[in-house]
Amino acid sequence: NAGVMQNPRHLVRRRGQEARLRCSPMKGHSHVYWYRQLPEEGLKFMVYLQKENIIDESGMPKERFSAEFPKEGPSILRIQQVVRGDSAAYFCASSPMDRGLNTEAFFGQGTRLTVV
């Protein structure tokens, strides 16, 4: 899973600030998924994107959270006006264009967000 690059690995934000999490998928992968892992919880699906398209955002909180995957550059998960409850590990996964099966998804190392 070293092929999916997430940065930063650790991010500290004060309440009310914005957090931007970046994900560069593996080479040749054009499907990106974001998951959130709260302490002592399993991973929860947030959003599934293809290049320039949001395919499924059913797991995204209705407010403050947004995601994009532009034609060029990494996928970005943006959290506006962060609150303490946003503190979690955020994982990105990618899968290849020609299959897009979730069984082919490879995860990055995650970004650990701490809101103080």
Partner 1 sequence: QKEVEQDPGPLSVPEGAIVSLNCTYSNSAFQYFMWYRQYSRKGPELLMYTYSSGNKEDGRFTAQVDKSSKYISLFIRDSQPSDSATYLCATSQGGSEKLVFGKGMKLTVNP
Give residues in contact with partner 1 (CB under 8 A).
1, 4, 31, 33, 35, 40-45, 48, 55-56, 58-59, 91, 100, 102-103, 105-110, 112
Beta bridge partners of 31: 50, 95
Q: Which is nearer to partner 1, 17 or 102 (CB)?
A: 102
- Residues 6 or more apart in contact with residue 103 via CB below 8 angstroms: none
Q: Which is nearer to partner 1, 35 or 69 (CB)?
A: 35
Residue 59 C-beta: closest distance to partner 1, Å: 7
Tokens at residue 57, please? Answer: 């955002």
Give the nearer residue to partner 1 in terms of CB position, either 65 or 91. 91
Token pair for 10: 């650790």
- 107: its two tokens: 């995860």
